[in-house]
Structure 1
Amino acid sequence: MTLRKSFILYVLVTSLCCSMAYAQKIQSYPIISPNGKIKLVFEYHQQAKIDSSASAEFDVYYLTNGKWAPILSDTEIGIATQKEQFKNLTLKSAGSVKRLNARYEMISGKRKLCSNQANESTCNFVNANGKALNVIFRVYNDGIAFRYEFPKWSDQPVHIEDEYTTFNIPAQTDRWVQAYDPGYEDFYPYSNNGKGEKSQEWSYPALFKHQEAPVWYLISEAGNSEFNAASRLVNNKDVNRYKISYSAGRKSFPQQGDISTLPWKSQWHTVMIGSLATVVESTLITDVSEPSRIAQKDWIKPGAVAWIYWAYNHGSKDYQKAVGYTNLAKTMSWPYVLIDWEWDVMGNGGKLEDAVNYAKSKGIKPLIWYNSGTTDWSKDTPVDRMRTRERRIKEFEWLNKIGVYGIKVDFFAGDQQDMMKLYLDILKDAADHHLMVNFHGATIPRGWSRTYPNLMSVEAVFGAEWYNNGDVMTNKAAVHNTTLPFTRNVIGPMDYTPVTFSNSQHPHITSYGHELALSVVFESALQHFADRPEAYYALPDAPKNFLKAVPTAWDETRLLSGFPGKYVVMARRRGAKWYIGGLNGQEDAKVLQFNLDFLNKKQANINIIRDGENDKSFKSQMQVWRKGQPVKINCLPRGGFVAVVE
């Protein structure tokens, strides 16, 4: 045989072998959102004649300009227990698509009336050992969600250790993602390469902008139960492949992942998809979460809070300071005062009970702070009154007796399963005792505000408290503040502790107009106004009266304009009034422009409070808006404004 014939034969045999190895049968199952704009296509790849292994993945498309634009491609699915792998799967059935259409009300958040409207389908698999796994897909008008489910195939507890779930992000995609931190207190820097400075582990939520279509998407998770550890994103093997990974164990709780009897369900993995306004206005996190478990809710009342800690770190152990902040709340018509850490050693004229009684005598409802007692590094007091149910119940009964209305619980140890259980146990026991809850040093919101509406706020943000800890916020605050409305605050309430006009340990250089606007731009059912009393007393009448009246819970929210890290204009409605807040995140003066045609009025009066001649002054004006005309407001560098539309 000649050399030429041998080479040809080699090529033919090689090609045939390759064709056989990669021959596969692909089964596709589309699910389209109720409004027809988002399509999820689940694909099952069955390799033919070679072996019986299989793989499963899905693609997501968005309808733009009459065409389906691919948004997420080849998203891998799968999960692993300590004894079983669910990666190479055999598809047993793909269920028919069914419509979900449920309405619910929120006491707090970006919208009062919400709709859990989606199309849902369940795919049933078995692994090589015949163990069953179900994957539930939902496609909403503003995103997609999916979760894993194990039916009962074992009488013993199962240890779910890891996921194979991986999102493939196109190279050069714009992204705003926070480096993972157990307290979620970091920035969301812009990147288009996916590289981290410290590691390749990332927190939720993660914001991405599609390069070729006018589409944004925000990845997070929701509906974590006591059987679900929280997860994070890891792209250490490929900067554009973000794999879901469970939190590593810690010294006092070495378990990674979940341990549960069967049946078991994972948390929901969520992706909000659409225009930037669609993402910001989305309620997907609460849509997929469990309905309220609290029957009587009339004791749950959002409101503004006077907060001692920012100006006086040890102020809560000083009775006179507690009195001063109670008087501030009374003067400003704020319903609450928060007495922070060290209240258990309060002196200088009175104890905690005296401060509580003084607040009640003024018609102000006191809230108090607790250390969760779960970390090995914080011994701030009072500590370890929340860790066990026996101690919690004893404490909550005492709080009911003396007249405390809510608790702030701080310093949680991480995102492991035991912490998820502790959060939910605190919420349940607090609800039983009609106590509202604010979590600090904590995980991000995961939809629990729907299940337990007494969850009023969560920190999980690099907030104004950091002016106490270093000078980094001084120069980064403006950009950070105009990034948070598109990232962290999208997924739930955010206790940033905003609106400061004086300085704490380190100065801020955002304008007074910028600071005032944070009361509208940032959403939190308990909005803790952080400055010292004299700073609020010294305000001109217009901003002072605005802070006396601004709501902390909303009937409707709209993003009017904005771009992460540059600027934002947010409108929120309470009753018949629209409150608008605008922030300039840039070093140059900017005209913030927006449209009010959604009001469906021919004209309206707008009362505006904006930057004055310098960054420490205001200018108030009334402007008549007419339909079809944009509203334009001049803002200083790092400036801002608020407006009220009757």
Structure 2
Amino acid sequence: MPICLARLAIYTAALSPLTLAAQSTPLTVTSPDHALEMSFAVQPPEKTADVASGRLVYSATFKGKPFLDASGLALELNDEPALGSAVRIVGTTPGSGVDDYTLTNSKISKVHEAYNSLTLHVAESSGSHRTISIEARAYNSGIAFRYVIDRQDAFSDFRLKQEDTEFKLSSDATDWLLALPNYRSSYESEYIKLPTSALSNQGGVSSTFLIGMPLLMHEPGTAWVSLMEADIEGSSSMYVTNPSGNWAGHYFTTKLSPRFDDATVAVTGTLPYHSAWRVLSVADDPGRLVESNLLTNLNPPNRVPDTSWIKAGKASWNWWVDDVDANGKPAFTTENMKRYVDFSAASGLPYMMLDAGWSAPHDITKLNGKVDVPELCRYAATKNVKVWIWLYSTSVMDQMKEAFPLYEKWGVAGVKIDFINRDDQRGVQFYYDTAREAAAHHIMVDFHGTRTPWGIERTYPNVMSYEAVLGMENNKVGRRDSPTDRSVFPFTRLLAGPMDYTAGAFNNATEDGYIARNTNPMAMGTRAQQLALYVVFQTPFQMVSDSPQNYANQPAFQFIKDVPTDWDETRVLNGRPGEFATIARRHGTEWDLGSITDWNSRTLSVPLSFLGSGAYTAEIYEDAPDAATEPKHVTIRKQTVHANETLTLKLAPGGGSAIRFVARTGR
């Protein structure tokens, strides 16, 4: 049985000096395949004989090579010294387990992953003799740990000012990072490629970056590593920074998002308390990080008993093209929105996404007179289409208990909640409150203006997607969405979970021919790349972003109509962040493949070993021979293929390839 933390101080006092000295040696948890090891120890202060007391640290190796050196573990609680700065290890509880569960509308449908675990019981050497545990797990795909504080005599209420977790890289890594301006952003920016040491010393002077999750790190010759967090309920979001201030520093420390109502504290509450999981996926190749299921593994099981009403699918969308009507003119009216419903029905899309402007300002229970949502829902139902509606986040915070029952009565399928722009403790709670209340009224959710995912979609499967990406909307105003950014996102933003990038642009342009505009916008890169994004960028709620007339009589639109949005299996076949990516996903017996490149043309060889036995018909949508100058041109062909064959993909600059593999019946 685990040691009762309330008695740890008594237990510590009973330990002999010899036992304490023995516990100062590293304590290790190893992954089932023995490739990953995570070790714990205390680092005693200099000039002391008490080797069993000191600063709590951990380290990690991958295939025998260190990728994290001794890194501190501590919490700054109340007004006392950091809990973890002067402690003894007073006991451990080893264990093992298997995460075995199903996912709804995800990148994989069934998960079965083993892990080994170690719970480290720690007590302060002096002062209040507070106690804390570190719960750690080692999977074949990564390691994770979190802080656990049980009820104890020393204190019951707590004010967590900061978390002092360190990630001391064993070498100066190359990082792809999301540098954010402050704690109140939408996580919508480029991922910057820089060495870790550059993040503390810009221009020869000390400097810092506030870095949002996920963070991708490559220690050459050792490992690819991603840093994220999971199960953040009751907590505040984690950021990291390199605090070293010098050109030789290559490590990170945590920064918790401060509360809006008290910037001196991150989390308040009563014991017991556990932090979010700190999650480090580790692999030889960045593609394995994309395939990892660690975030959902480390979140609580499904809390929605009946999920039969939660359906993945694609949606027509009025906003990106500026509400254009059949004549190409903006018209935000009920009649024009019915035209988008008609387009969904004709194209086999189950949804229509109605964006901002339908509700009265800051009152999401009243119409503003432009679009009659109940009427639109009624009309859509006659076409076997369901309507999603856009909402402003602060109004949802104030009115969800009144609004969600009303939307259920109207027949609304889902809500797109925008401009959340907060991930402090109350902001985090908003996500859980929204998911719970929406599920009670059979409403799906798409979070926009949001932090990146952390696995809540396992706990609340009605959470379908999140934005938190420099998406295609940027084409309406500037040049910030490019094929180069798109080739980074699979290995950065997509690691965290579903991504509502809003693909589907058919007004495709070269880098030189592109012009930013709000109505009928363009997108840089080829049309074949836009098709491929429906496979590469996973989300169960996909936008079909362009106008109905831009898809009319376009043979390439068939791929968008056919491609699934929920998957049973995901394989990353090749890729490097910022260069190219090829991903295959399976839905039932059908496989779909998407391959994209940056502004460099590429020829890629793709083995088809992921296919099952027998013959498949490959429906191939690829860049036409002249796509480098005519990016709208797509070549469509079919061929019979088998798992022992290799396909050669030729991608134009900013190009791509999208392929459906349909199993053939008979011979």
TM-score, normalised relative to structure 2: 0.86
Q: CA RMSD in A?
A: 2.2
The CA deviation at 1:171 is 4.5
Give SS of 1:513's match: helix
Quick one: distance in 2 between partners of 1:349 and 1:174? 50
Say whether residues 1:332 and 2:347 are aligned partners: yes
1:319, 1:348 within 8 Å by CA — same for their partners in 2? no
Residue correspondence of structure 1 range 19-418 to structure 2 within 5 A: 26-46=24-44, 48-49=48-49, 53-63=53-63, 68-84=64-80, 85-127=82-124, 128=126, 129-153=128-152, 156-180=156-180, 182-195=185-198, 199-213=208-222, 215-225=223-233, 227-238=234-245, 239-250=249-260, 254=263, 256-274=265-283, 275-312=285-322, 317-344=332-359, 351-373=372-394, 384=395, 386-388=396-398, 391-418=399-426
Quick one: distance in 1 between partners of 2:372 and 2:262? 37
The CA deviation at 1:590 is 1.1
Distance verdict in 2 for CA 1:217–1:310, change over 3 Å:
same
Say whether residues 1:438 and 2:436 are aligned partners: no
Q: Runs of 4+ in structure 1 displaced over 6 angstroms?
A: 313-316, 346-349
Match of 1:553 among 566, 569, 576: 566
Say whether residues 1:509 and 2:530 are aligned partners: no
Quick one: distance in 1 between partners of 2:459 and 2:602? 41
Say whether residues 1:584 and 2:597 are aligned partners: yes
The CA deviation at 1:77 is 1.1
Percent of matched pairs sharing the same residue: 26
Give SS of 2:558's match: helix
Distance verdict in 2 for CA 1:600–1:552, change over 3 Å:
closer
1:89, 1:125 within 8 Å by CA — same for their partners in 2? no
Letter in 1 for 2:300: E
2:504, 2:531 within 8 Å by CA — same for their partners in 1? yes
The CA deviation at 1:607 is 1.9
Quick one: distance in 1 between partners of 2:65 and 2:93? 24
Quick one: distance in 2 between partners of 1:50 and 1:29? 18
Distance verdict in 2 for CA 1:90–1:621, change over 3 Å:
same
The corresponding residue for 1:605 is 617
Distance verdict in 2 for CA 1:536–1:255, change over 3 Å:
farther
Quick one: distance in 1 between partners of 2:613 and 2:371? 55
The CA deviation at 1:604 is 3.9
Residue correspondence of structure 1 range 439-588 to structure 2 within 5 A: 439-473=447-481, 477-502=482-507, 504-505=517-518, 507-540=522-555, 543-585=556-598, 587-588=599-600
2:416, 2:448 within 8 Å by CA — same for their partners in 1? yes
Quick one: distance in 1 between partners of 2:315 and 2:36? 41
Letter in 2 for 1:140: Y
Quick one: distance in 2 between partners of 1:265 and 1:588? 47
The CA deviation at 1:355 is 1.6
Distance verdict in 2 for CA 1:156–1:32, change over 3 Å:
closer
Give SS of 1:115's match: strand
2:340, 2:352 within 8 Å by CA — same for their partners in 1? yes
The CA deviation at 1:339 is 0.8
The CA deviation at 1:595 is 1.3
Instruction: Please list the CA deviations of residues 78-136 of structure 1 after superposition, one character each: whole Å capped at 9, or x if unmatched.
Output: 11112232132323434232111131111022101012421111111112320011110
Letter in 1 for 2:339: G
Letter in 1 for 2:282: I
Instruction: Please list the CA deviations of residues 616-638 of structure 1 after superposition, one character each: whole Å capped at 9, or x if unmatched.
Output: 11111223435544211111111
Instruction: Please list the CA deviations of residues 337-388 of structure 1 after superposition, one character each: whole Å capped at 9, or x if unmatched.
Output: 1111111267898622222222112111011111011xxxxxxxxxx1x113
In the alignment, structure 2 segments of 5+ residues that lack a partner are: 1-20, 325-329, 361-366, 509-516, 663-667
The corresponding residue for 1:639 is 655
Counting matched residue pairs gives 598
2:24, 2:89 within 8 Å by CA — same for their partners in 1? no
Quick one: distance in 2 between partners of 1:327 and 1:627? 40
Quick one: distance in 1 between partners of 2:343 and 2:292? 35
1:316, 1:342 within 8 Å by CA — same for their partners in 2? no
Letter in 1 for 2:440: D
Give SS of 1:548's match: helix
Give SS of 2:397's match: coil
Quick one: distance in 2 between partners of 1:89 and 1:235? 24
Instruction: Please list the CA deviations of residues 59-87 of structure 1 after superposition, one character each: whole Å capped at 9, or x if unmatched.
Output: 21112xxxx11122212211111223213
Letter in 2 for 1:118: Y
Letter in 1 for 2:373: L
1:306, 1:529 within 8 Å by CA — same for their partners in 2? yes
Letter in 1 for 2:99: A
Match of 1:596 among 608, 611, 617: 608
Distance verdict in 2 for CA 1:166–1:463, change over 3 Å:
same
The CA deviation at 1:318 is 2.0
Letter in 1 for 2:191: Y
My pick for the range that moved more, 358-367 or 109-118, is 109-118
Quick one: distance in 2 between partners of 1:602 and 1:443? 43
Quick one: distance in 1 between partners of 2:90 and 2:427? 36
Give SS of 1:86's match: coil
The corresponding residue for 2:5 is none
1:332, 1:547 within 8 Å by CA — same for their partners in 2? no
1:444, 1:460 within 8 Å by CA — same for their partners in 2? yes
The corresponding residue for 2:4 is none
Give SS of 2:213's match: coil
In the alignment, structure 1 segments of 5+ residues that lack a partner are: 1-22, 374-383
Give SS of 1:202's match: strand
The corresponding residue for 1:381 is none
Letter in 1 for 2:66: P
1:498, 1:529 within 8 Å by CA — same for their partners in 2? yes
Quick one: distance in 2 between partners of 1:316 and 1:550? 30
Distance verdict in 2 for CA 1:482–1:51, change over 3 Å:
closer
Quick one: distance in 1 between partners of 2:583 and 2:421? 34
Letter in 1 for 2:464: M
Letter in 2 for 1:121: L
The CA deviation at 1:52 is 7.5
TM-score, normalised relative to structure 1: 0.88
Quick one: distance in 1 between partners of 2:305 and 2:118? 31
Give SS of 1:95's match: strand
Instruction: Please list the CA deviations of residues 310-343 of structure 1 after superposition, one character each: whole Å capped at 9, or x if unmatched.
Output: 1116968422331121112112111011111111
